[in-house]
Chain A
Amino acid sequence: MKQHILPALKLTFISIIVLAGIYTIAIWVVAQVGPNHGIGETVSVNNKVVGYKLEGQNFTADNYFNSRPSAAGYNAAGSSGSNKGPSNPEYLKQVQDRVDTFLVHNPSIKKEAIPAELVTASGSGLDPDLSAEAAMVQVARISKARNISEDKLNTLVVQQTQKPLLGLFGTEKINILQLNIALDKLK
């Protein structure tokens, strides 16, 4: 055993230098030419940062497209899912409450039209996206709150919908921050 202690110590030392040191610094150097120098891409409106491009944020007001429920309250410094099991009665009541709240704010919508993703919490608590259905179902409410025609809003949603990768792989989605920024610009 003794003859292995010294090599183990030395090897650990050199491994730290190469694998934790040089590797990290090399990636960091590449990051300097990457998007926003690797510090995270932001989105600005009128030269003011209003969010991070990749991270979702909370929209609860009637005149914005609302984001998905979040177990983290959209705290981008403490991501979290709900970790509720599918049979948990307390959880099912929570979902039911969200449905009821949604119906109060969107009186023209029937329960059968609410897509489940709009009343269930995301994995990260920072989901930046909505499905097309989850956006469409909110159009009537926003139209009333902003006095913009439903047709215009429907067009906006279709414009903002991102197709699956290469049209072939994965889901359709809409970035909620971009959608609401575009909504604010709509007259």
Chain B
Amino acid sequence: MNTEIFGVVATFIITVLLAIPLGRYIGKVYSGDKTWLDPIINPIDKLFYKAGGINPTKEMTWQQNLVALLVINLVWFLLSMLVLMNMSWLPLNPDSNPSMSADLAFNTTISFVSNTNLQHYSGESGVSYLGQLLLMFFQFVSAGAGMAACAVVFKAMKEKNSDKLGNFYVYFIKSCTRVLLPISAVIAIVLLFNGTPMTFQGKDQFISLQGDTVNVSRGPAAAMVAIKQIGTNGGGYFGVNSAHPLENPNYVTNMMENICIILIPIAMIFALGYIIKRKRFAWMIFGVMTIGFLLLVIPSIYQEMKGSNAIHKMGLVQKLGSMEGKEVRFGPAASAYWGITTTVTSNGSVNAMHDSFTPLTGMFAMLGMMINSFYGGVGVGFLNFYIFIIIAVFISGLMVGRTPEFLGKKIEAKEMKIAAIIALLHPFLILVGTAIASHLYAQNPTAYAAWLNNPGSHGFGEMLYEFTSSSANNGSGFEGLGDNTPFWNIACGLVMVMGRFLPIIGPVAIAGILAKKKYVPESAGTLKTDTSTFAIMIFAVIFIIAALSFFPALALGPLAEYFGMR
């Protein structure tokens, strides 16, 4: 039992120890400083600039950067729809898997372009190898686009008075070639040598020891699993994601994949510290995020290791803990730790079935996504946190009766309006979506009987989780939900698209507007943003806005289930 705890503690410590130097490296990459990978990657970047017809020295305003981001995403959307709806007759389809229906292709496309990786299909039977490689391509570029948006905000925070905020294309290319690609290659090779397949051969067949004929799905999985984790994508190669023995063969790969889930999100904070030359500020943010993360992860591990109340009442031994939906090679501690790391970041890969978690763990997973900025997704996690910083600065400013300032820039009505809209958008999308779905179900439970795999409050939790996961661009699910229907495909698709792009546009706009404002030097009356007092302030803002607005919904779902089981 103790070895399980050691396992997760070691995983977290290794993650932080790797994230600090990686953050400095990312900071150097975005600042254009020299790094040791330059001799290899400079020529590759030049190839990208040349082929793309991009002038890397031309800086753009925040509006131009956003338009560049949106246009390239539109191109990806069209490309993906085209391939997913035609893959049955396209090459690389040894298992003769079908093309997707229009609504499923719409959902899957948005899901992968928006870095969500919600999957309403199953990898073994729902996509061809070409489809898998296309989705893997989106796992690179959606992560790269998110990081690029974050880099624009970093640049804006650094500027004293300018409207030139770097070049989206350059940030995007550098994120892909200098961060995502090299790390993915290393991870993919380690996975390969631990037994994850990397082949273009189709299904295999054998006769088991007991005499059953068994078909085995294979494919180019190692390459995809690597970027799935490092890019906070989470879309698995196989249906059950990293619970699958081929996708996550043993405890070593489990630790490695789990480290990758939160590695870049943590590193981005230290990158910020490097770029704006405020290390204390970065540590303050890291502190707030880490305390929030620990508050979610510790009780979850405790709950899963303690086991399920209902199973206990049956008189069974739960020496390991709650094991429904979990794998013996990981155990409950590593499964709960993964469950929370994957939901506080917008990763969404799973190594255990979240639908079968004990009620409170399921709730903490949902809370992670509802807050969506304790580390958060690659790039976008910090953007969400940035909104909370702006609100905290504003409220603190009002409390001491001064014009609120952040990094020497006055925060005024326009910025606050944007911040408030973005902060409220997330609860709005989740709660309205869940309300509509619940209404439909309650009106006609027989027509929608196939939606829910579980009755009562847990069934409500399945719907709440799905919208939370979509809006947070997470992609995990209470997978009992029968979600490959036009309603869920379209509703989740719309929520994902709004949940992705508005929280990118908002912070970039605020940062851009602030960068142009006159710089006010710090004085004795300036609110210090790198202190523990301010950290508590941010924490309070997050708690009030993000956590409390969801309390009624959580009370109807997991909390009701928890108290009902006691």
Task: Give Cα A54–Cα B242 distance, bound, in whole angstroms.
Answer: 13
Choice from A95, A169, A177 contacting B209 with Cβ under 8 Å = A177
Q: Are the C-beta atoms of B223 and A4 separated by less than 8 Å? A: no
Choice from A76, A112, A113 contacting B216 with Cβ under 8 Å = A76
Choice from B75, B201, B319 contacting A12 with Cβ under 8 Å = B75
B270 sits at the interface (CB 8 A): no
Q: In chain B, what residue has the closest Cβ to A78?
A: B124
**A113 surroundings in chain B (CB, below 8 A):** 317
**A95 surroundings in chain B (CB, below 8 A):** 311, 314, 316
Q: Are the C-beta atoms of B4 and A171 separated by less than 8 Å? A: yes
Q: Are the C-beta atoms of A125 and B240 separated by less than 8 Å? A: yes
Q: In chain A, what residue has the closest Cβ to B315?
A: A111
Interface membership of chain A positions 54-82, coded 1 if the CB is closer than 8 angstroms to chain B and 0 otherwise: 11111111001000100000111111111
Choice from B245, B350, B561 contacting A126 with Cβ under 8 Å = B245
A104 sits at the interface (CB 8 A): no
**A59 surroundings in chain B (CB, below 8 A):** 209-210
**A164 surroundings in chain B (CB, below 8 A):** 3, 7, 251
B206 sits at the interface (CB 8 A): yes
Shortest Cβ gap from B48 to chain A (Å): 6
Give how many A-B residue pairs fall within 8 Å (CB-CB): 377
**B79 surroundings in chain A (CB, below 8 A):** 12
Number of interface residues of A (CB under 8 A): 104
Interface membership of chain A positions 74-96, coded 1 if the CB is closer than 8 angstroms to chain B and 0 otherwise: 11111111111111111110011
**B68 surroundings in chain A (CB, below 8 A):** 4, 7-8
Task: Give the residues from 116 to 145 in chain A that come closer than 8 angstroms, CB to CB, to chain B.
Answer: 116-117, 119-131, 133
Shortest Cβ gap from A30 to chain B (Å): 6
Shortest Cβ gap from B508 to chain A (Å): 15
Q: In chain A, what residue has the closest Cβ to B355?
A: A83
Number of interface residues of B (CB under 8 A): 123
Q: Are the C-beta atoms of B209 and A92 separated by less than 8 Å? A: no
Q: Are the C-beta atoms of B218 and A39 separated by less than 8 Å? A: yes
**A13 surroundings in chain B (CB, below 8 A):** 51
Shortest Cβ gap from A19 to chain B (Å): 4
Interface membership of chain A positions 95-111, coded 1 if the CB is closer than 8 angstroms to chain B and 0 otherwise: 11001000000000001
Which B residues fall within an 8 A CB radius of A? 3-4, 6-7, 10, 44, 47-48, 51-54, 67-68, 71-72, 74-76, 79, 122, 124-125, 133-134, 136-137, 140-141, 169, 172-173, 176-177, 181, 184-185, 188-189, 192-193, 195, 197-201, 203-204, 206-210, 212, 214-218, 220, 222-223, 238-240, 243-246, 249-252, 254-255, 307-311, 314-320, 322-331, 334-335, 350-353, 355-359, 453-459, 461, 478-480, 561, 564-565
Which A residues fall within an 8 A CB radius of B? 1, 4-16, 18-20, 23-24, 26-28, 30-31, 34-35, 37-42, 45, 48-61, 64, 68, 74-92, 95-96, 99, 111-117, 119-131, 133, 164-165, 167-171, 173, 177, 180-181, 184
